[in-house]
Amino acid sequence: MATVRELIERGVTVFAPETVYLGPEVNPERISGEGVVIHPGCRIRGERSVISARCELGAEAPLTIDNCALGQDVKLKGGYATDSVFLAGVEVGSGAQLREACLLEEQSAAAHNVGLKQTILFPYATIGSLVNFCDCLLAGGTSRSNHAEVGSGYIHFNFTPAGHKATASLFGDVVRGVWLREQPVFLGGGGGAVGPVRVGYGAVVGAGSILKDDVPDDTQVVVPGVASTHPVKRFAYPRLARVVAHNVEYIAQLLALKCWYQEVRAPLYTPVEYGNELLEAALRVIDAAIGERTKRFAAFTESVRSEDADARRLRERGGDVAGYLAAYHPRLDPELARRITVGEQPYLATLSALDDETVITGQQALAAIVAEVTASAQEMLHALPGE
């Protein structure tokens, strides 16, 4: 109660203070005194927790946050969140379970009873209710009225009968997505995707469709459910090269995102309340995502039982590839980074003000990072042939 009283003295509105719990490790100075509202039944834990101005916690139901970093104007309405980051203007409905390494960027949103883990939402991306969307990156859209959308009841299937999770999926990407100039991805409600898949910008996937293959840009897809029976082959990977390529690309995109935060976003955090803490938290999340994906990739390569040449080579060298991916540290040209971050506007305004030449140059620079990573991994594996 002593810490709760200190928050109230700092200007935080705390309804029913006797029902609010702050762990003894929580630093009250990392909670803004400007317009923060904490409703009854909330629990705040973790020495790394940060709550910025005008955040509102638990408006619909009790909420627990544990080592989470919240930017300004975030509304988490109820549920549980741990080791995740919510940047300015994020809203999440009640009943959410937000597990480790989630990064929800500016003005992204999720409705009630959403399950996320190792999930990255770019600005404006919106998720409906009763959605399980783990091990994904979702980009696309240009504004709150033109945003990537995941319909209610959607599932990203991220666990195979063989028990591995080398299944992360890209809906959009980092290279083009960070500039907020691409058409939205639309995933219809009551559907799902069997990871790993790659879905392009402007793609529209019909309600109830279950994706098992990639979808190019600007493609409409409706996949009707068809019952079929086949013998179970738990450790057979008929599309081995595809799974390998998708995993390497996902990690390469995360590496490009890490570079984006270090080289482009970092200067923009300087004038923001708790800016350094938010940047550090976001980079921890990205590093955790890279670590998770490389670990899952290494475990997958070890599980392949086939004795053909490609499978043997993957078993022999998969661990080396995972180690290379985990240790890679890309950099952007400093002059390009300065061109992007000129001025002192907030992040979204900074991006909207960029000229086309800078955007194209920046996309090429990020694409070069992804290309270098994927080419190096392929060389280490002696370029597993395609299907």
Q: What is the rounded CA–CA span in Å between residue 31 and residue 43?
A: 13
Please check whether residue 354 is in contact with residue 340, taking contact to mean a CB–CB distance below 8 angstroms: yes
Give the amino acid at 309: A
The reply to whether 282 and 215 lie within a common domain is: no
Please check whether residue 64 is in contact with residue 95, taking contact to mean a CB–CB distance below 8 angstroms: no
The reply to whether 27 and 168 lie within a common domain is: yes
pLDDT digits (tens, 9 = 90+) for 287-342: 999 999 999 999 999 888 777 777 888 888 888 999 999 999 988 888 999 899 87
The reply to whether 252 and 196 lie within a common domain is: no
CB-neighbour burial class of residue 164 (10 A; exposed 0-12, middle 13-18, buried 19+): buried
- Which H or E element spans position 81? strand 79-82
Q: What is the rounded CA–CA span in Å between residue 141 and residue 176?
A: 11
Structural domain includes residue 386: no
Q: What is the rounded CA–CA span in Å between residue 363 and residue 45?
A: 39
The reply to whether 250 and 102 lie within a common domain is: no
- Model pTM score: 0.94
The reply to whether 210 and 287 lie within a common domain is: no
DSSP bridge pairs for 215 = 199
pLDDT digits (tens, 9 = 90+) for 125-148: 999 999 999 999 999 999 999 999
DSSP bridge pairs for 205 = 187, 221
Number of domains in the chain: 2
Structural domain includes residue 385: no
* Chain mean pLDDT for the chain: 92
Please check whether residue 1 is in contact with residue 17, taking contact to mean a CB–CB distance below 8 angstroms: yes
pLDDT digits (tens, 9 = 90+) for 192-226: 999 999 999 999 999 999 999 999 999 999 986 54
Full residue range of the structural domain in which residue 316 is found: 240-380
The reply to whether 114 and 26 lie within a common domain is: yes
The reply to whether 216 and 299 lie within a common domain is: no
Structure confidence at residue 227 (pLDDT): 45
pLDDT digits (tens, 9 = 90+) for 104-119: 999 999 999 999 999 9
Structural domain includes residue 129: yes
The reply to whether 147 and 31 lie within a common domain is: yes
| Band of residue 239 on the pLDDT scale cut at 50, 70, 90 | confident
The reply to whether 202 and 310 lie within a common domain is: no
Structural domain includes residue 233: no
The reply to whether 184 and 271 lie within a common domain is: no
CATH of the domain at 213: 2.160.10.10
Please check whether residue 246 is in contact with residue 267, taking contact to mean a CB–CB distance below 8 angstroms: no
pLDDT digits (tens, 9 = 90+) for 51-76: 999 999 999 999 999 999 999 999 99
Q: Choose among 101, 197, 200: nearest CA to 155.
A: 197
Q: Choose among 98, 92, 148, 152: nearest CA to 125.
A: 148
